[in-house]
Amino acid sequence: MKFDTPATTNPIDRLKVVGKPTDRVEGPLKTTGTAPYAYEHRDFAATQAYGHVVGSAIAKGKIASMDLDAAHAAPGVLAIVTAANAGKLGKGDFNTAKLLGGPEIQHYHQAIALVIAETFEQARSAAALVRVEYTREKGAFDLAVALDTAVKPPAMFGTEPDTSVGDFAAAFAAAPVQLDQRYTTPDHAHAMMEPHASIANWDGDELTLWTSNQMIAWSVGDVAKTLGIGKDKVRLVSPYIGGGFGGKLFVRADAILAALGAKAARRPVKVALARPFMFNNTPHRPATVQRVRLGATKEGKITAISHESWSGDLPGGGPETAVAQTRLLYAGADRMTMMRLAVLDLPEGNAMRAPGEAPGLMALEVAMDEMAEKLGLDPVQFRILNDTQVDPEAPSRPFTQRQLNKCLETGAEKFGWAKRGKPGATRDGKWLVGMGVAAAFRNNLNANSAARVRLSGSGVVTVETDMTDIGTGSYTIIGQTAAEMMGVPLDRIVVKLGDSSFPVSAGSGGQWGANSSTAGVYAACVKLREAAAQKLGLDPIDAVFADGKVKAGRRSFALGDAAKDGELVAEDMIEFGKLAEKEQQSTFGAHFVEVGVDSMTGEIRIRRMLAVCAAGRILNPKAARSQVIGGMTMGAGAALMEELAVDKRFGFFVNHDLAGYEVPVHADIPYQEVIFLDEVDPNTSPMKAKGVGELGICGVAAAVANAVYNATGARVRSYPITLDKFIDKLPEIA
């Protein structure tokens, strides 16, 4: 089904199932521990062997020698895979560093061997016996030092590194009120609960991988390319994923090494990355240095706006696209954005929840707060004043829907924003209390997505698509979509996901999954409706699918009757045309945060958070609320505690476990609320929905930062905002 004109009224608009707050259909499996995750498949329990990864102990250099004798001689060891014996390996399109290193080492904890043994304990113990001598080489590990060497990177996914409209320099110089500030954000870890894990089994030259992966079709391609086999020889199965956040968009060492290990041991092999490997073996969100300049009239109209960002990555990697939102969020005639990329020899950088916008808004939305103060304007009003209903870099492109102002106004009213005091002026006992606001912005992206639907004689509809559920609710919204389309309750739908033998979906990434994958199911269901009507001798145009029946005029059948001679199968793909080029599709929100800061110690404690979101039709308000709350929590972490500490001498992330890399716990955020504004966007798909999973994190950290400033009067421009950075600015002690 081509989607190249805005949607008109369709069966989804009935909203009998779609749009209802619905419990996750797979929830009971997860809460009872019966949903099999990648490492838990039992298909080969009798024959499987265990692989344990050996990681490089240095960040850059070469393996001088590798002594495997002791490991080979250890009890239970079946085989050891290294670059020296693995045969020629390619590199996936989505990988920057090789997944099996050696002799060249590209980063700390790059996998250099897999030890395979009869038991997990034997494999781990033998892995510690691998003796490696290295020749260290000097590397670049410090972004601040590497800034001067940064260059203009090539365009990524159609995103140009530089944009410019008008004459920013002249407009900024002429602006009566100016702001010019630098901000830094640190490297972040996805830190999901389930580590990367895979089980590999070869049947002749055909490989099956049970794995934990967000993008099945991309990863089938990269497994095939890395191993040098045909895509038709690779099957990926990933029905349940214990968190991804972008860390599982790509094939990682667990999958490739499990496949190589299974070949070497002639047995099914399972591999999970140990927790320390989750920080230095896998990708992370890269640190940034950002400069924001704003020029405004005395009345608060932005006349000049620029945003520059520097980040680093391994050779061949890409930048953190931290300036992306600044191209679209606020008005201003003269503007420019710029990204520069330095070479760093740290583990590779890559996508993490809302790549670009998440760190970009951490700078821009603090700059907006600072500018509002300079202008003597309320920060909510300053943002509203600079709203734009068109793409400010290309004013002929309107936004399809843009309710940023309403998000800000609604939030301000619900949150009690009017009670916000001057910086450092509100006290509650020993606590300095402050409120902060920030805009949330993330583009809505669409990706072609296919599905197959089957109707059985009993009236059960089965959906098959390689779409993934990374804890987001894909199973449920896909089920809701099929139920709505076929006119049956949700319990008549079976949803099967995450298997590369199913039609190729959009996958889970860039908050494009929900709208795109349900639109693909919509397309397949349209075909199934046609097939069912035809089978029942009804005119597909007149047939109404409702209450488990198919009716046209006076004739009425049970839905299952259409399949009583045999299962009906339909398959289709939603193919997105050029609507998104003509009009800009984005999601908007406003985050409000109240914090208390201990006036003695500087400890920051969030008191309450509110998000108001406008993101198209909300397919399942319960699941969407959970997504936004998760994003808010992650944003709170980015504001207050999350930082991969770089050892600039040895070139690695030091705090490589969940005790050292702190993420928020329940006690950190006592109260969170989410409001969705009514919105349907016929330009996005027949579902009229948009992404929401990444909108939730966008702007949160800046709202926290602005609240800390409002509480203390101390501005910290280097994340995370920890007490050591402003303890000297707290009130004098008696």
Partner 1 sequence: MKSFTYERVDTPAAATAAFARTKGSRYIAGGTNLLDLMKLEIETPGHLIDISRLALDKIEPTPEGGLRIGAMVRNTDLAADARVRRDYGLVSRALVAGASGQLRNKATTAGNLLQRTRCPYFYDPNQPCNKRNPGSGCAAIGGFSRLHAVVGASEACIATHPSDMAVAMQALDAAVETVDAAGKTRSIALADFYRPPGTTPHLENMLAPGELITGVTLPKPVGGIHIYHKVRDRASYAFALISVGAIVQPDGSGRVALGGVAYKPWRVKAAEAEMPRGAKAVATALLAGAKTSHENAYKLPLVERTLAGVLMQARG
> In whole angstroms, how close is the CB of 720 to partner 1 at the nearest point?
8
**Reduced to 3 states, what is the DSSP secondary structure of residue 30?**
helix
Least distance to partner 1 from the beta carbon of 595, Å? 12
Positive/negative CA dihedral, 260, 263, 268, 269: negative
**Of 107, 101, 70, 105, the residue nearest 84 (C-alpha):** 101
Return all residues near 6 (Cβ < 8 A) that are at least 6 apart. Answer: 579, 682, 683
Minimal distance, residue 722 CB to partner 1, in Å: 6
Reduce the DSSP state of residue 132 to 3 states and report it. strand
**Has 694 been annotated as catalytic?**
yes
What sign for the dihedral angle of Cα 342, 221, 196, 116? negative
Q: How far apart are CA 439 and CA 46, in angstroms?
A: 54
> Which strands, in side-by-side order, build the sheet including 555-558?
544-546, 549-552, 555-558
Rounded Cα distance, 306 and 289, in Å: 14
Q: Could you tell me if 328 and 263 are in contact, meaning their C-beta atoms sit under 8 angstroms apart?
A: no
Closer to partner 1 at the Cβ: 141 or 172?
141
Comparing CB distances to partner 1, the nearer of 199 and 641 is 641
Q: At what angle do helices 216-227 and 253-265 cross, to 10 degrees?
A: 50
Q: Give the count of beta carbons closer than 10 Å to the beta carbon of residue 298.
A: 10
Least CB distance to partner 1 at residue 289 (A): 19
- Work out the angle between the directed axes of helices 621-640 and 700-712 (0-180°, nearest 10): 50
CA atoms within 13 A on the CB side of 488: 25
Which CB sits closer to partner 1, 291 or 605?
605
Which H or E run contains 532?
helix 513-535
Pairing of strands 555-558, 549-552: antiparallel
Supply 424's token pair.
């450092």
* Joined tokens for residue 710: 């409002």
Whole-number minimum distance, CB 287 to partner 1, in Å? 14
Residues 405 and 619: their CA atoms lie apart, in Å, by: 23
Q: Which of 365, 464, 679, 694 is catalytic?
A: 694
Least distance (Å) between residue 186 CB and partner 1: 12
Residue 662: CB minimum distance to partner 1, A: 5
Nearer to partner 1, 205 or 428 (CB): 428
Q: Closest approach of Cβ 41 to partner 1, in Å? A: 24
Helix axes 357-375, 700-712, angle to 10 degrees: 40
Closest CA to 322 of 305, 340, 335: 340
Cα 159 to Cα 35, 126, 352, 356, 726: the distances in Å are 38, 46, 17, 11, 37
Least distance between partner 1 and beta carbon 149 (Å) = 24
Footprint of partner 1 (CB under 8 A): 57, 75, 121, 124-125, 128, 276, 430, 598, 600-603, 605, 640-641, 645-647, 649-650, 654-657, 659-660, 662, 664-668, 720, 722-724, 727-728, 730, 733-734
Taking the least distance from each CB to partner 1, the nearer of 143 and 447 is 143
What region, left, alpha or beta, does residue 96 occupy, with left being phi > 0 and alpha being psi -120 to 50 degrees?
alpha
Residue number with CB closer to partner 1 (275 or 406): 275
Cis peptide before 195 (omega within 30 of 0): no
What sign for the dihedral angle of Cα 97, 102, 104, 105?
positive
Residue 513 or 602: the one with the smaller Cβ distance to partner 1 is: 602
- Least distance between partner 1 and beta carbon 316 (Å): 25
DSSP assignment letter at 154: P
Shortest spacing between CB 64 and partner 1, in angstroms: 16
Alpha carbon distance 543, 228 (integer Å): 50
Instruction: Tell me how far apart the terminal alpha carbons of the chain are, to the nearest angstrom.
Output: 72
The answer to whether 97 and 256 have CB atoms below 8 angstroms apart is no
Q: Kindly tell me which of 133 and 657 has the beta carbon lying closer to partner 1.
A: 657
Strands 646-647 and 652-653: antiparallel
Closest CA relative to residue 461, chosen from 425, 433, 485: 485
Q: Which two tokens stand for residue 110?
A: 């790059």
**Which C-beta is closer to partner 1: that of 136 or that of 233?**
136
Q: How far apart are CA 441 and CA 694, in angstroms?
A: 9
CA atoms of 151 and 157, how far apart (whole Å): 18
Shortest distance, CB of residue 665 to partner 1, whole angstroms?
Answer: 5
- 249, with CB counted inside 10 A (0-12, 13-18, 19+), is buried
| Nearest CB to partner 1, comparing residues 167 and 647 | 647
Residue 89: which residues within 8 A CB-CB, separation 6 or more?
Answer: 83, 98, 99, 100, 226, 227, 228, 256
Q: What is the CA radius of gyration of the chain?
A: 27
> Smallest distance, Å, CB 103 to partner 1?
18
Give catalytic residue positions: 694
